[in-house]
Amino acid sequence: MTTGIDFGTTNSVAAQWNGAYVEILELGGQGLDADWERPGFEKLYPSVVGTSSLRAGALFGWEAKLRSEKAVEACKRMLREEPLVTIGGRRFAATTAAAGVFRSMAAAAEEEAATEIGEAVITVPANATGAARFRTREAARAAGITVKTLLNEPTAAAIAYAHAVEEEGEFLVFDWGGGTMDATLLLHDDGFFDEKASRGVNQLGGLEIDERLRRMVLDRAPARRQWSESEQRQFRLDLERNKILLSSQESVRITTPDGIAVEIGQDEFSAGIQDLISRALDPVEQCLEQARIDPSELTAVLMIGGSSQIPAVREAVAEALDCELVGPELCNPMTAVAEGAAISAAAMDGELKSIIRVVNTHALGTVTKDRHGKRAFSSLIDRNQRLPQQRSKSYQPSQDGVRRLTVEVWEGDPDRPVDHPDNVKLTELVLAYPQRSQAEDGVFDLEYTYSKEGLLTVKATLQKTGEVVLDGEVRVFGDSTVPPEIEKELKALFALPSSERTTPRPTHPQPVPATAQSGGRPDYASRPNVAPPSPASLAKKPAPVTKQPSAALVVDGSNLAWNGRPPRSAGGRPSFLALQAAIKALRFKNPDKDIHVVVDATLRHDVAPEERPLVEEAIASGTVVQPPAGTEGRGDALVISIADEINGVIVSNDNFAPFQKSNPWLLDVGRVLGATQSQSLWVFNPRRPNLAVPGRRR
């Protein structure tokens, strides 16, 4: 029996066709706490890996989410870039963490649902990159699951809906989950599901909404002390749970680890996330415009993913499209994707009659250089082409006497610069000429063949002789053996020992003594293991406490954007793309740290024109902040103010000379990191600003 698996950023769901209908497997539901018990949650399997000092080995699912002292969440989102994650004090590839989730789901299916997950149709976001798709396959294979095919999540939801209501027409799927937002337009005609257009926003989902709620709470109740890791984790869980409650309650009370309760109303919460909702609506407009369809022509609008069920989100989509949305009783926002995957699996197994056709969501091509060495994305298969697809283009070496050429295979958007984050180099292939010759004799036809299963083969044929000089499969798309290092890591993950700490830290916020809350005396009578202080100890002057830097990093964005650039006097410009690369590297190396990015108000005017929209979008979304007009000291002052407020570490090569006198902590060891860019590599090392030389801005 083939299974359908919705491998989600926040939660995963598994379903199987039992011959008559789709059955959702209940996996790991016994790990649910009373606070988290809500209708349907027993069918969700949190995509979380964690550890506890009370148990050996890694924890998964609800146990990991609710009982881990340290946990790795959203490993699906990490598959886009494959960072390393820390679990139980060891470093693992994100693919290994994802494989652990798959394997634990398979084990739970055997133990709790008396079934096996041997083969599966696994869903991925509509706009997932080739690298993310490959790593999803690799993670499932490492877990012992044969991947029959990867199915786009919106297509899976549409299949589930059409199967339930037997309706044909134009479907718009609004898919807003924990990590990404995708809008996909599909045509359902006589059993065919044809993706006509798909647009999305990466890293815009429930995680960003949780962060917005966190800001709302901390704006009213700033942290009074440095919170422990377990307190921070419990606070994040409380934020997520209360965000869910705000979809059905008028207000919630959220308590910080300092013991301060903050009340947030549904209307206030809705107003606070309006900019995120606006960003989520952009792909809808782009999708309809691309397909040249008016909203009135839509047959059904499906809302899937947890974030799509926020009342303000549903209202905004209904108003923007001027239509009635399909209700959750006909398209369950949390399980429809897995249901569609299970139906697709049954169709592939011959148990159901259905045909699925899809399109590619990213262009596939290569990179060329002009006579000046400028690189450009050359597209062979444009986006939104019905699969399977086969296209070819002719290319010529840039010089005579070439014996070997490197063919770079890229996926992304050819309208953007090659080094834009949306463009990903999948691999490099070598084209070997039989002999050295003139450039015009080396002209070759490069052919890409892209199957509906997402397999890409690349072939190069010499025009002059017809000889094939390159013929290979891009392994980043296809099936291959599981790398030994992943198998070794996965074995180590399941064999993790318990923490060496003999006394575990509390996993929930502890009561704050009365003296910290109201100026009263602590209640030592209710704490029998804590002896009251003696009069002599109370009379002693407390020893000074040295503040330790927090986990937060405060990035001097304008400084990093200028890193390695010629000065303005020589025609140089800062690079926002370089800053984004630096932030990406920082997040990779510090996955558990909050990162604040500050830029000068002038940065958007200093960067190249093509980068200006990126800066404005980042400012509008709150990814970066800039000082208000009229602020003295520009971005430097704001960097220092934030770092001082949160006791954070500054990332900058500036000396902050004008501010050292009033902020002597700038010279403390460990309070500043320097940034160095070597080609595409960013390195961050501790530094101590020089007192004698003032920092310079270009």
Whether residue 542 has pLDDT greater than 60 = no
Q: Say what the pLDDT of residue 564 is.
A: 82
Tell me: the pLDDT tens digits for 94-144? Answer: 889 999 999 999 999 988 888 899 899 999 887 777 678 778 888 998 999
Whether residue 54 has pLDDT greater than 80 = no
Tokens of 354: 């259905």
Q: Say what the pLDDT of residue 174 is.
A: 96
Q: Say what the pLDDT of residue 482 is.
A: 61
Sign of CA dihedral 549, 552, 558, 559: positive
Q: Say what the pLDDT of residue 424 is.
A: 77
Q: For 408, phi and psi rounded to 5 degrees?
A: -85, 130
CA 129 to chain centre: 12
Q: Say what the pLDDT of residue 590 is.
A: 83
Q: Is the peptide bond before 388 cis (omega within 30 degrees of 0)?
A: yes
Tell me: the pLDDT tens digits for 398-453? Answer: 889 999 999 999 988 898 899 886 687 878 899 999 999 899 999 999 999 987 65
Angle between helices 612-621 and 274-291 (to 10 degrees): 130
Whether residue 647 has pLDDT greater than 50 = yes
Q: Say what the pLDDT of residue 516 is.
A: 36
CA 411 to chain centre: 18
Tell me: the pLDDT tens digits for 581-604? Answer: 899 888 878 877 889 999 988 888
Are 414 and 365 spatial neighbours (Cβ–Cβ below 8 Å)?
yes
Whether residue 198 has pLDDT greater than 90 = no
C-alpha 347/C-alpha 11 separation (Å) is 25
Residues 6+ apart with CB under 8 A from 639: 554, 555, 556, 598, 650, 652
Q: Say what the pLDDT of residue 73 is.
A: 82
Closest CA to 486 of 129, 141, 119: 141
SS3 label, residue 362: coil
Closest CA to 97 of 125, 73, 122: 73
- In this structure, the number of other CB atoms found within 10 A of the CB of residue 261 comes to 11
Walk me through the domains of the chain, giving residue ranges and CATH numbers: 2-205+275-357 (3.30.420.40), 363-473 (2.60.34.10), 553-686 (3.40.50.11980)
C-alpha 548/C-alpha 556 separation (Å) is 21
Are 653 and 675 spatial neighbours (Cβ–Cβ below 8 Å)?
yes
Tell me: the pLDDT tens digits for 504-524? Answer: 333 333 333 333 333 333 333
Higher pLDDT, 544 or 406: 406
Top-ranked range on mean pLDDT: pick from 246-260, 361-375, 594-608:
246-260
Q: Mean pLDDT across the chain, nearest whole number? A: 83
CA distances from 230 to 34, 221, 552 (A): 20, 19, 16
Tell me: the pLDDT tens digits for 326-371? Answer: 999 999 999 999 999 999 888 878 787 666 665 676 789 999 988 7
C-alpha dihedral, 28 to 330 to 174 to 354, nearest 10° = 90
Count Cα neighbours of 334 within 13 Å in the Cβ-side half-sphere.
Answer: 19
Identify the DSSP state of 625: B
Closest CA to 48 of 65, 31, 70, 66: 65
CA 507 to chain centre: 25
